[in-house]
Amino acid sequence: MSKREDSVGHVWQHLILIVMVLVTVYPILWVLTVAFSGQQNLAFIDLPADPTLGDRLRAIIPWPEQVTMSNFVAVFRDQPFGRWLLNSVVVSAATTLVGVFLACTAAYAFSRFNFPGRRAGMMSFLISQMFPGTLTLIPLYIIIVEWLRLGSNYLGLVLMYATIAIPFCVWMLKGYFDTIPRELEESALIDGASPAMIFWKIILPLAKPAVAVTALFSFMTAWNEFILALTIMDKESMYTAPVGLRFFVGGFAEQQWGFFAAGSIVAALPVVVLFLMLQRYLISGLTAGSVKG
Amino acid sequence: MAGVIFDRVNKCYGDTEVIRELNLEIRDQEFMVLVGPSGCGKSTALRMIAGLEEITGGQIRIGDRVVNNVAPKDRDIAMVFQSYALYPHMSVRENMDFGLRLKKMDRGEMDQRIDEASRILGIEKLLERRPKHLSGGQRQRVAVGRAIVRQPSVFLFDEPLSNLDAKLRVQMRAEITGLQHRLKTTTIYVTHDQVEAMTMGHRIAVLHDGDLQQVGTPLELYETPRNLFVARFIGTPPMNFFRATIADDGARLTADGVELPVHDSLRRITQGRSGKEVMVGIRPENLYDVKRQTDHPTARIRLKVALVETLGHEVLVHGHFGSDERETDPSKLLVGKVDPHSEPELNQEIEMQARLDSLHLYDPETEARLGEEGE
Ligand SMILES: Nc1ncnc2c1ncn2[C@@H]1O[C@H](COP(=O)(O)OP(=O)(O)OP(=O)(O)O)[C@@H](O)[C@H]1O
Ligand SMILES: [Mg+2]
């Protein structure tokens, strides 16, 4: 009897989940449809004056008339999307490197050493996370563009993104470092390792999952960011992918939804690939537990 | 090979003093056990030898070198931690040669040392495994192996057996003692388990609240504990104590319902102290069945049985002496040993005999042992 109840319960669960999945996937299907339709407009069916139910259904089901790669080819050939993508790659990769390196070293110091300002430092990182990011827009603009004169420059954007990513990364990594038993380091110390060697050979390899999470976080912070990039990248040749995409639509010129969709898909790919590659670490990194011997 | 000397060593964390004026010499090739209850400072003492804790005052010498300001790696020691502290991301072999590689030892020598150590410890087949895939006992062996391959002049062990189950603990106890016997490396071994201390050490140092209580061979500590703390700490079941008054110019000890003639060997202590109180200590094996034949001088004590513990080869009887309200008075509780087959009933009044030539007398105020060296 209980078995029957179970399976009825499952039906409901499945129904709810299926609806949720449709809600989530529907917009993505539209993007895919528009991208592969070869057209630029969102509505690729012209409803007749007196549409039947079938016509209406046809209009909301995301399915292209024909499948073509022309939009993908065009964004790279006719539009400078390749250049923007490259900018994004450079900026995101640099942000990841700078962010993860600084976060690792800072988090290790916060985790292991006692120095004046340790608590204050951690707290200020935490507090900086409590304000909306746009709040830092103006001070960052003044520092990076007006003082350092790094407008429309990779370095300027990388500095900005690192500033945003580092506090979270430090907290994440410190939390993980804290779970690594000190005795491992003491043992290494007796074995004759220097503090630097302990950091590189013992701590970092053990913290791989947390490093993977922070690396991905830094990368995505930079890759998806729009407002800061729009603010300081003035030259069209220095746009990042999200900024460039924005100029396909929303201007006064013709709306190029096809380019927008195709570009979005291309831009989403690296993140998907990274997720798949780091999946193994992500699970253990997010549930950051102690390193059992 | 080298001895280790604590010369008036102090250790403070802020205002709290966790080691006070520790003077202790560990001789070359000796197996010294530091034992004491939790929090007494034994790990701290060991970690000061290793160089993992600063020394607040005094000197520690390894061999004839003052090591207060020597880095851990230059002290020529190896340490086995309670948690083993094996590097989880390295294989057993890498764990063992990590320190050797840092010393830039050549591969041949390294392999030879690892082969030898793993053969001694029976871990040859595990060399390529990660610590995660080892049992507790195997990890323990690897941790010991990692210490051996360094061929240090001093081994330091911090409660290395406390994570093992009882049976394995007994086995590893024997293995570690055997190993020390073979390698003859000076060893300092920390434990809170007095059985481990008694069975393993050449000598034992008992610590309590940062103070050294007594140093001696296991037998010395068992037979002549210098104060009440050591007397209570060493031996299972622990020594019985009760307060008694000296009477008849030192000829008798009296307590509620108990009359014990003072044996000649103790007369020197009790003489001329009539009316004074002493703490009388008697080990459970010296309080036994009246039926048992014995050549030693004994006196009888009546007990009301409160608990009977059958251990197979012997039976422990817990009982109260004296008359009024004794059931609730723990200071009147004595533990003795009786024959396996004479099972006394609960609440029964029984007679036991106490061996008079092996009583221990302590000053109730200073808690120091009276007599021989205690005066
Ligand atoms: N970093 C520290 N700061 C302050 N007090 C400390 C610190 N480390 C240890 N102590 C104190 O020093 C005392 C001795 O500690 P220690 O670790 O040496 O005890 P132990 O004898 O090894 O005990 P256990 O058997 O529980 O391991 C304890 O009272 C402990 O609270
Ligand atoms: Mg300890």
- Listed by start position, the domains of chain A span 3-68, 81-282
Mean pLDDT of A41-70: 76
Q: Is the CB of B69 under 6 A from ligand 1?
A: no
Task: Say which CATH superfamily domain A81-282 falls into.
Answer: MetI-like (1.10.3720.10)
Q: B179-221, pLDDT tens digit by residue?
A: 999 999 999 999 999 999 999 999 999 999 999 999 999 999 9
Mean pLDDT of B61-84: 94
Q: A240-262, pLDDT tens digit by residue?
A: 999 988 888 876 667 888 889 99
Chain A positions touching B139 (Cβ under 8 A) are: 293
Can you give the pLDDT at residue B13? 93
Q: Are A229 and A241 in contact (CB under 8 A)?
A: no
| Paired sense of beta strands B298-310 and B315-320, if any | antiparallel
Percent helix, percent strand, percent coil in chain B, to nearest 5: 30, 35, 35
Residue A48 class from Cβ within 10 Å (0-12 exposed, 13-18 middle, 19+ buried)? exposed
Look at A95-99, A268-272, B25-29, B56-60 and tell me which has the smallest mean pLDDT.
A268-272
- Indicate the SS3 state at residue B315: strand
Q: How far apart are CA A54 and CA A45, in angstroms?
A: 12
Chain A positions touching B73 (Cβ under 8 A) are: 189-193
Res. A134 pLDDT band, cuts 50 70 90? confident
Look at A82-96, B42-56, B144-158, B283-297 and tell me which has the smallest mean pLDDT.
B283-297
Can you give the pLDDT at residue A1? 47
Domains of chain B are: 4-226 (3.40.50.300), 240-362 (2.40.50.140)
Q: Which residues pair with B253 in a beta bridge?
A: B246, B260
Q: Which residues pair with B12 in a beta bridge?
A: B17
What one-character DSSP code corresponds to residue B202?
S
Amino acid code (one letter) for B335: V
Mean pLDDT of B121-126: 92
Tokens of B24: 């202790």
Tokens of A22: 């449709």
- Indicate the SS3 state at residue A9: helix
Q: Is the CB of B42 under 6 A from ligand 1?
A: yes
Among A277, A280, A283, CA closest to A219: A277
Among B325, B278, B326, CA closest to B301: B326
Share of chain A above pLDDT 90, in %: 45
Is residue B371 scored above 80 in pLDDT?
no
Q: How far apart are CA B268 and CA B375, in angstroms?
A: 11
Chain A positions touching B132 (Cβ under 8 A) are: 292-293
Looking at the CA of B209, name the nearest ligand.
1
Share of chain B above pLDDT 70, in %: 97
Distance from CA of B127 to the nearest CA of A (A): 15
Residues of B with CB under 8 A from a CB of A: 50-52, 72-73, 77-79, 81, 83-89, 98-99, 102-103, 131-132, 139, 150
Can you give the pLDDT at residue A286? 58
Q: Are B186 and B153 in contact (CB under 8 A)?
A: yes
Can you give the pLDDT at residue B311? 85
Residues 6+ apart with CB under 8 A from A265: A31, A32, A35, A72
What one-character DSSP code corresponds to residue B33?
E
What one-character DSSP code corresponds to residue B127?
T
Mean pLDDT of B59-86: 94
Look at A119-123, A141-145, B326-330 and tell me which has the smallest mean pLDDT.
B326-330
Can you give the pLDDT at residue B127? 94
